[in-house]
């Protein structure tokens, strides 16, 4: 494909993605909200793809980094700390109102630190053993969030944290602040807050895609793939497998931390129930169903499994009414999602859009 065609297709896709929520608003804000949350799942899937797809490290506790980013922003952008700590209240009477240019580096850095702390004790584990340990790490984080309210109230326990500020750009305490939580009037046309968040998440996804693409074709990306295929051979070739694994855990976790901070600002409320094991399994499923290690496939898998549950909400409700309420709609939705995933994996074992296979010999020419 020529360079001009690539630029043309990119501009067409950009125009469609930017204007899509404006058309969806004709139905209501619900579809736009679903699309915004789907973009957050794309960001999470891209982060997990670094760990699972590139480095071959099966991580079932990725939702822990999602929770770390969400609670970090919730504590920095809500009055919770000022209400529970006198010293903090003396310094910040109205609480911290952290702008986006501080939130993203802080969430990425804290989540990366958590990723390195998780990766350090599991460097020698592979496969099922690694999956079990990371699963336990994810559950430990959730249990901590549930119980860190006594004797010092940090997370507010199972009640969660509310009154979280919307994401903002500018300098707090001045007039130079743009909030994503308020509707924007442009030439008499009112753009709701949910559309502004959609555009913010879309910008983050595009930026993350550029990072992932550059990583995939860099020396670091090739080192990760060498470790994924054969760790012993990679070590024999001089690759520092220890540092590369830690880098994969840390780099993937940054995506989860930023996603969590955006989720907290978007929802205005976080609780430990938002970061259950099922969330982690769904993120892994997005990567597997789409195509492990292939960026377009990961995006397709994330969008499919993020939007499918909401689309099935209408179908499940009708079936529940047909059965007189004997089948619960929430259970039916989970059953339909599982059935759809089974069909996809039987039909396309390597995912909906797998990475192209390299190294296979070309078919022999047919003799005439």
283 touches 301 (CB < 8 A): no
Q: Is the pLDDT of residue 274 over 70?
A: yes
Domain membership flag for residue 249? yes
Residue 133 pLDDT grade (very low, low, confident, very high; cuts 50, 70, 90): very high
- Give the pLDDT of residue 361: 47
Domain membership flag for residue 132? yes
**Lowest-confidence range among 240-254, 313-327, 343-357?**
313-327
Domain range for residue 150? 29-275
- Give the pLDDT of residue 210: 93
Question: Mean of the pLDDT values across residues 170-195?
Answer: 84
Q: Is the pLDDT of residue 220 over 90?
A: yes
Question: Mean of the pLDDT values across residues 241-256?
Answer: 95
Residue 184 is given by DSSP the state: E
**Lowest-confidence range among 29-33, 70-74, 326-330?**
326-330
Residue 234 pLDDT grade (very low, low, confident, very high; cuts 50, 70, 90): very high
Domain count for the chain: 1
- Give the pLDDT of residue 1: 58
- Select the more confidently predicted residue: 137 or 329: 137
Separation of alpha carbons 67 and 279, rounded Å: 11
Domain membership flag for residue 174? yes
- Give the pLDDT of residue 212: 94
Q: What is the helix (H) or strand (E) element at residue 134, kind and residue range?
A: helix 127-147
CA 195 to chain centre: 19
DSSP 207-263: HHHHHHHHHHTSHHHHHHHHHHH-HHHHHHTT--HHHHHHHHHHHHHHHHHHHHHHH
Q: Is the pLDDT of residue 357 over 60?
A: yes
Question: Mean of the pLDDT values across residues 102-130?
Answer: 91
Give the up-direction half-sphere exposure of residue 235: CA atoms within 13 A in the CB hemisphere: 8
Highest mean pLDDT of the ranges 111-125, 177-191, 254-268, 283-297 = 254-268
Q: What is the pLDDT of residues 77-98, one digit of tens each?
A: 998 888 888 888 888 877 777 8
Q: What is the mean pLDDT of the chain?
A: 88
Question: Mean of the pLDDT values across residues 110-124?
Answer: 92
For residue 91, give Cα distances in angstroms to 72, 74, 313, 366: 19, 18, 47, 80
In percent, how much of the chain has pLDDT > 90? Answer: 55
Q: Is the pLDDT of residue 259 over 90?
A: yes
- Give the pLDDT of residue 2: 67
Question: Mean of the pLDDT values across residues 193-206?
Answer: 95
Domain membership flag for residue 162? yes
Domain membership flag for residue 239? yes
Question: Mean of the pLDDT values across residues 192-221?
Answer: 94
71 touches 145 (CB < 8 A): yes
Residue 274 is given by DSSP the state: G
Q: Is the pLDDT of residue 368 over 70?
A: no
Domain membership flag for residue 151? yes
Domain membership flag for residue 138? yes
Domain membership flag for residue 140? yes
Closest CA to 256 of 344, 137, 170: 137
């Amino acid at each position: 494909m020529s360079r001009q065609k690539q630029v043309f297709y990119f501009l067409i896709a950009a125009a469609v993605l930017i204007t899509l929520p404006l058309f969806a608003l004709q139905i209501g804000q619900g579809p736009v909200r679903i699309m915004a949350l789907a973009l957050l799942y794309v960001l999470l899937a891209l982060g997990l793809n670094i760990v699972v797809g590139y480095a071959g490290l099966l991580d079932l506790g990725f939702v822990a980094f999602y929770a770390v980013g969400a609670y970090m922003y919730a504590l920095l952008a809500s009055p919770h700390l000022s209400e529970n700590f006198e010293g903090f209240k003396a310094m910040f009477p109205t609480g911290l109102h952290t702008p986006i240019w501080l939130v993203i580096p802080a969430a990425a850095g804290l989540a990366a630190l958590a990723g390195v702390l998780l990766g350090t004790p599991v460097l020698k584990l592979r496969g099922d053993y690694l999956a079990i340990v990371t699963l336990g790490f994810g559950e430990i984080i959730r249990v901590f969030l549930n119980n860190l309210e006594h004797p010092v109230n940090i997370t507010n326990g199972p009640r969660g944290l509310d009154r979280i500020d919307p994401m903002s750009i500018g300098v707090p305490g001045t007039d130079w602040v743009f909030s994503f939580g308020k509707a924007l009037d442009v030439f008499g046309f009112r753009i709701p807050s949910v559309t502004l968040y959609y555009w913010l998440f879309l910008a983050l996804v595009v930026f993350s895609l550029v990072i992932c693409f550059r990583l995939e074709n860099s020396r670091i990306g090739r080192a990760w793939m060498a470790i994924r295929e054969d760790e012993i051979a990679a070590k024999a070739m001089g690759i520092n497998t220890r540092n590369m694994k830690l880098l994969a855990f840390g780099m993937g976790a940054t995506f989860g931390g930023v996603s969590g901070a955006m989720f907290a600002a978007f929802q205005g409320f976080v609780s430990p129930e938002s970061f259950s094991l099922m969330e982690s399994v769904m993120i892994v499923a997005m990567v597997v169903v789409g195509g492990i290690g292939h960026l377009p496939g990961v995006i397709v898998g994330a969008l499919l499994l993020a939007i499918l549950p909401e689309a099935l909400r209408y179908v499940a409700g009708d079936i529940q009414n047909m059965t007189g309420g004997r089948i619960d709609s929430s259970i039916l939705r989970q059953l339909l999602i599982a059935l759809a995933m089974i069909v996809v994996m039987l039909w396309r074992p390597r995912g909906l859009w797998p990475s192209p296979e390299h190294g296979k010999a070309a078919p022999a020419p047919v003799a005439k």
